[in-house]
């Protein structure tokens, strides 16, 4: 049996197992299985060694291990620059970050070209880092709005990316074509919250990409739509980061549509 999985703490609510196991089933890969592996932070290094000793093929890495894992594997340049690992091949101990490609692939699938475009990123945490890195490499003009502006400045500095730290008012007036929500505001079970400051009029005709996928339609997506724009949730990013990991471990082209359908059914 070839075993892969996701390591995190907690890991109970991860949707990756059903998504990957559905993909294995659809392709008749009965000798592959994807597990949830709960690993407390203080035993990460030892646990990775145990997984390798037990011939686990590879793992996805989620909260709180994405940064700490960086120092325990051979991280590629992308993961090093983002400062986080989300996929490890335990056969070689090589690791990468498929969140960046997952996001950029999903923008492409939605026919969104960010080259030269003005893009506002809401948030400056871990999710924002991967997304700002991808946007920056693609040549977007980036503005970050964050509750803690210093954290946004530090994000630009540490990525050696250029851009502006803005308020919601400045972002609304900037003329952005895309707003990406990388905060947790509006995520289940707080679906009534909005990542946009509702005292500031929302710009018209803007596309919102919300990295949240539960609920499937967030308050922010709805706000874009009532203002003549368009809303996209984060399910595509989740599927595509997983698809890239699947390809890396198995060498097999993943069944993207099966993965989408499985997640839609689960949510
Ligand atoms: P992740 O790794 O998922 O990005 P994180 O590093 O905790 O998680 O980052 C969460 C982001 O959501 C941050 O930008 C955070 O703002 P701060 O940097 O000011 O903490 C933002 N965020 C979380 N709760 C928020 C709230 N109630 N209002 C505004 N921003 C919030």
2-97+238-266 is a CATH 3.60.20.30 domain: no
pLDDT at 15: 97
Query: 46, 146, 109: which is closest to 259 by C-alpha?
Result: 109
pLDDT at 201: 98
Choose, from 66, 94, 118, 247, the residue flagged as catalytic: 66
Q: In the chain, which residues fall in CATH 3.40.50.720?
A: 101-233
- Pull the structure tokens for residue 176: 């952005």
| Helix residue spans in the chain (DSSP H) | 16-26, 44-53, 77-82, 98-109, 126-137, 149-159, 168-173, 219-226, 235-250, 256-266
Query: 197, 64, 177, 174: which is closest to 122 by C-alpha?
Result: 197
Query: What is the CA(264)–ligand 1 centre distance, in A?
Result: 26
Specify the residue with its C-alpha closest to ligand 1, atom 8. 125
Burial class for 175, CB neighbours closer than 10 Å (0-12, 13-18, 19+): exposed
- Is there a catalytic annotation at residue 66? yes
Q: In the chain, which residues fall in CATH 3.40.50.10860?
A: 2-97+238-266
Q: Which residues pair with 7 in a beta bridge?
A: 37, 61
Class of domain 101-233: alpha beta
Cβ–ligand 1 contact at 184 (below 6 Å): yes
pLDDT at 118: 99
Query: What is the CA(124)–ligand 1 centre distance, in A?
Result: 7
Under-70 pLDDT residues of the chain: none
pTM, to two decimals:
0.97
d(CA 95, CA 147): 32
């Amino acid at each position: 049996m070839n075993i892969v999985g996701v390591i995190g703490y907690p890991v109970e609510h991860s949707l990756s197992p059903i998504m990957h196991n559905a993909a294995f089933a659809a392709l008749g890969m009965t000798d592959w299985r994807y597990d949830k592996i709960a690993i407390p932070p203080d035993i990460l290094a030892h646990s990775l060694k145990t997984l390798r000793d037990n011939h686990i093929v590879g793992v996805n890495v989620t909260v709180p291990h994405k940064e700490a894992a960086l120092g325990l594997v051979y991280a590629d340049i992308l993961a090093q620059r983002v400062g986080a690992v989300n996929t490890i091949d335990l056969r070689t101990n090589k690791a990468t970050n498929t969140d960046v490609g997952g996001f950029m692939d999903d923008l492409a699938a939605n026919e969104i070209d960010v080259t030269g475009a003005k893009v506002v990123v809401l948030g400056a945490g871990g999710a924002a880092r991967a997304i700002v890195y991808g946007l920056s490499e693609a040549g977007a003009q980036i503005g970050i709005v964050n509750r803690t502006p210093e954290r946004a400045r530090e994000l630009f500095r540490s990525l050696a990316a250029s851009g502006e730290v803005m308020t919601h008012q400045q972002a609304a007036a900037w003329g952005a074509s895309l707003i990406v929500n990388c905060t947790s505001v509006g995520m289940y079970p707080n679906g009534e919250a909005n990542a946009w400051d509702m005292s500031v009029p929302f710009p018209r005709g803007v596309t919102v990409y919300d990295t949240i996928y539960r609920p499937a339609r967030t308050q922010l997506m709805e706000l874009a739509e009532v203002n003549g724009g368009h809303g996209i949730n984060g399910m595509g990013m989740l599927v595509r980061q997983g698809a890239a990991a699947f390809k890396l471990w198995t060498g097999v082209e993943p069944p993207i549509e099966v993965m989408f359908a499985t997640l839609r059914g689960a949510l």
